[in-house]
Structure formats: structure tokens, C-alpha cells
Chains A and B, each alone.
Chain A
Amino acid sequence: MSTKRTLVVTAVLGLVFGSVAAVSAQRTELASLPMAQYVGFGHNIQAENDIYMAEEEAREAIVEECMQDAGFMYWPEAGAGVINVPGNTSARGIGLAESLRDDPAPLARKDLSPTDAYVEQLAASERDVYLTALHGEDWDSVSQSPEAFSGSCKAKAFDEVTTLAQAMRPLRDVYATQVEDQVARQPGVVVATKEWSGCMSDAGYDYGQPSDMFGSLDDKAADLIAAWGSAIPSDKIDALEEIEVATIDAFESCNIGLARALFEARTELEQRFIEAYRDDLEVLRRGMWIGVKQP
């Protein structure tokens, strides 16, 4: 990718996300972990997804131009496939039993994208020519090689747009190893987990750690579905919900110390990570990607 195109996309992101930053700020006031000043690590996930969408817009424009140059129609569609579900859905407990009350009929399927619909109505030979231009030789093979893919319009687009994922890639696994994998092992978290387990035991629930508790609830839901399929009697669901809500109530009262310990441990590990990789992190500083003002 040319430096110019990198800069163009970055500038666009800066302008676009000037307005997004205000929205994201509402979400990040609680997420005051040290790494929240950087993007790419999941602390600003909505904003990070917005950055991805802008990247995909740029890629889709390149694909459209490429396909048109090759004599084909193409309908750009950034964000295709991202499942959007409105938030603020109320539920009791963690919503597990409630989810079993839903109509088990398959979801209303999103219509095929204009490009997918166009492809579907092509004759097999035409479809092969079209998808070869779009996705490369062997487009329908699970063994498609990078060489077969190269030269396609999609490959051109991926080559030409630098991404946030690429920018954070050198630190992705280091962060996972030095921060995420270490949180549960920190002495304060180990102690707090034991205290959590004792508190839950006092309330009548025998779990070593929260994941055991959530897993146990999932097990109960799985048992119901295995026994009744999609026609679970409402009294069975009510019974599960009673267990679920009582368990989560106990969890809530026992989890305060553990939540604090997790946050403190993560804060400390992230501060250490920032100290160690400050220079490398500079390219991921939130302000470089979000809320940059136009000159």
C-alpha cells in the first residue's frame, strides 16, 4: 500500500470519528483501564468496529473500481455480515432461561446482498468467471492458495488498505500473554476467587470460580433442550429461571471483591505493559485514530 493511501484512510477516520468519540465516551467512562487510551485491544470495541467499517468502505470502493475495470458489475457493501442486535434487552438473571422462551423458529434471514443475489442468478460458467475475478482462481476450494487468490479484486483491496489490525498485530500476542493470561494468576485475584467461592458456598452454591457457575447454568439449559427440544414446558423454564436468578443474586453479592481484584490486577498488568511497550504502542494511541480534528 502506498503511504498516501494510508494517510488518506487515516485522515478520513480522524474526521469521521470526531463525532463518534462523543458517543464512545459514554461507554468508556467505566472502562478506565490504562489500555483504554489505545485502540486495538478491545477496550474501545465499538470505536474499533467503526474503524474497521471505514477500512472496509475503502476496500469495497477499490473492489468496485477493480471489477468495473474488468467489465463486471459490483455492489459495495461495507459491514456485510456484522450481526446487529439492539441493546438494552431486559432479562432476569443472565437471560439464559428467558432465551429458551423465544420462538424457536429460525431467524428471519437477511436477504442476500445485491452482489450475492447477482451471483446466484448467473449460469455456472458465468458465475465461475465472475467469482474468479472477484476472489481468484479456485474460489470455491477449501484449499485455495494465496497465489490463486492474488490478482483478484479482493486481494487488491486487502493489499492496498492498511488496517488497525495490522498496526496492533506485533503486540497482539504479547498483550495476550503478558496481560490477559496473567490476570487470573495474580495473588490478589487468587485470594479473591477463594473468598468468592466461600461466599457462594455459604449461600448454598458450590463453585470454585465464576466460570464453573456459568457453565453449570449452561449445563442445565442443555439438559432441558436435550429432553424437550424446542418445546420445553413453561414450568420447566420457570424452574430453571428460579435457579438462575437465585444463583445470580448470590453471585452479585459475592462478586464485589472479586470484580475489584480483577480490575486492580488488570490495571497493574496493563500499566506494566505500557511501560514496557510505550514506543510500540504510540501508533495505537486512541487520539491518532479517533477524534482527530481537521486542520
Chain B
Amino acid sequence: MRLLRVLVVLAVFSSAAFVALNVTPTGAAEYTWNTYPTNGYKIYLSPSSQGNQGCNGYVEKFGARDIGYEAAAGYGNDLVARGYFVKLGSISSSINSRMLESETWNARMHIAIHTNAGSTACNSNRVASNAGTWTIYEPSSSSNATKALAEHMRYYVAGASPGTNDIACRHNTSCTTYISEMYTDVPYVAYYEMEFHDWPTGVSFIRSATWQWRIGWAVDRWFGYPPNMY
């Protein structure tokens, strides 16, 4: 069986063609920006696997996956265009599977993507003042989900969301339960609750495709716009 596994792996890889995750502008009279193909940084996007339902047929795991696609390679200057390698986790997996995927992929930053409000389908009391984008941090030394990173990630993305109660929230307090993912062993861990899915305005925002590039903006700002040198 072991030999068979080796042969299967070998056969697959003999024919596999890997396409680099980068964009290399090379216009004739234009500046060739990417002298090298990539900045060498890997970003793991971890979409929620929760089936929570929101307004207008919204389901959290599918919404989170779509946010990940847009952030990686969608409208505007996305992560890939900025020179980052991106991997998007499966929506049919568990927290521990995605943590280990991120760690074994050697991600530089792990970004969890959720939308807020749990399984509350549609809440008539939700308005802009009690909605918004939340990020979560864990201050203990055993976590790389720092408050500074949470504040930073919130700042660059929250400006787009319709809710105004945008906060960076301490892990395992009244605003959030215990989240294993805060302890993912990669250098930087960010955790997003991208708006609330229990009000129609929030769902419309989540489903629109013009704001997810801000995740790349936030990441680039955090790392100081690393040059594409590899």
C-alpha cells in the first residue's frame, strides 16, 4: 500500500503544472513593477464552516467563502495582485483542520473570515449603530492574534461596512466565545466578523464585491508593502 501511495503521488506530480500566484505587470512603456514574481508572503484565508442563516437566504459559510475569493483575486487590488500567495480553506472542514493547514503551508498570516450574529436569521432590531465589523484579539503570549493587529485590520476594512459599531474585541469575553483559531501557530493571526448577517443592509454589503480588496490593503499596510523580490 505504501509503495502504491508513492507511485500515485509521483504520477500526479509528474503531470502537475503549478501556476504561480502572482501578477507581473510588464506593459511596454509602463513600469515593470514586479522585478521578481512575488513578495514571498503566504496568506491563509480561513472561511467559516458554520451554516448560520441570515437575512434573504444568506448562509455564513458560503458568504465567508465568497469573501475569501474576492479578497484573494477579486475586484480592486487584491492580495494576489499585490504579490501574495493565497490559500483559501474548505468550508467543510473544522477549525483544527484549517489551523494545521495554515501551519503546514507555512503561512505568514492566518485570517479567519466570519460574519456576525450566529444563527439569528433576521433581527428587526439590528441597525447601523449596533452593527459593524469586528475583529478579535487574544492578549496572551501564547497567541499571535495581537490587539495591534486586530485594531489595524479593523481600521482598513470597517470603513466600508454599513454598521458603525466597529470594534476590535478581546477574545473569550462578552463579545465572543472561546475560539481555538486564535492560537494558530503562524506569525500573525487575524479574526474577522465581517458585519452582521441578520439585517438586510448587512447582507447586501457582505454580498457586494467592491470592499474585499481592503483585506489586501490592510495586509500590505501591516507588512509595509513588501517588495516582490522572489
Interface residues of A (CB under 8 A from B): 4-5, 8, 11-12, 15-16, 19, 27, 30-31, 40-46, 48-50, 52-55, 57-58, 61-62, 65, 78, 80-96, 99-100, 102-107, 109-110, 113, 115-116, 119-120, 131, 135-136, 138-146, 148-149, 152, 154-155, 158, 163-166, 168, 172-173, 176, 184, 210-211, 214-215, 218, 221-222, 225-226, 229-230, 245, 248-249, 251-252, 259, 262
Contact = CB atoms under 8 A, between A and B. Distances in A.
Contact of A165 (B73, B75, B105): B105
A48 B69 contact: no
B159 A215 contact: no
B2 to A, nearest CB: 7
Nearest to A80: B90
Given A81-B89, A116-B90, A57 B13 contact: yes
A92 B25 contact: yes
Chain B interface residue number, banded: 35 or more
B96 A135 contact: yes
A155 B96 contact: yes
A88 B88 CA distance: 23
Interface of B is mostly: loop
B217 A222 contact: yes
Contact of A143 (B73, B178, B208): B178
A49 B96 CA distance: 21
Contacts of B207: 106
17 contacts: A12-B6, A12-B9, A42-B41, A49-B85, A57-B9, A82-B86, A83-B72, A85-B22, A85-B80, A87-B23, A95-B25, A139-B93, A140-B94, A158-B100, A225-B160, A245-B30, A245-B31
A100 B81 CA distance: 12
A87 B73 contact: no
A82 B227 contact: no
B225 A211 contact: yes
Nearest to A228: B210
Contacts of B230: 27, 31, 42-45
A223 to B, nearest CB: 10
Interface stretch (B120-128, B145-153, B179-187): B179-187
A82 B96 contact: no
Contacts of A211: 221, 224-225
Interface in B44-90: 49-51, 65-66, 69-70, 72-78, 80-81, 85-90
Q: For the complex, would chain A's binding face be called helix, strand, loop or mixed by DSSP majority?
A: helix
Contact of A99 (B81, B89, B97, B178): B81
Nearest to A166: B104
Interface in B94-112: 94-97, 100, 103-106
Nearest to A19: B14
A218 to B, nearest CB: 5
B89 A91 contact: no
Contacts of B106: 40, 48, 52, 164-165, 168, 172
Q: Please provide the 10 A-B residue pairs with the shortest distance between their CB atoms, ordered closest to farther.
A: A42-B40, A135-B94, A149-B96, A91-B25, A139-B94, A165-B106, A81-B88, A214-B225, A16-B13, A84-B19
B25 A89 contact: yes
Interface in B1-29: 1-2, 5-6, 8-10, 12-14, 16, 18-27
Contacts of A100: 75-76
B133 to A, nearest CB: 15
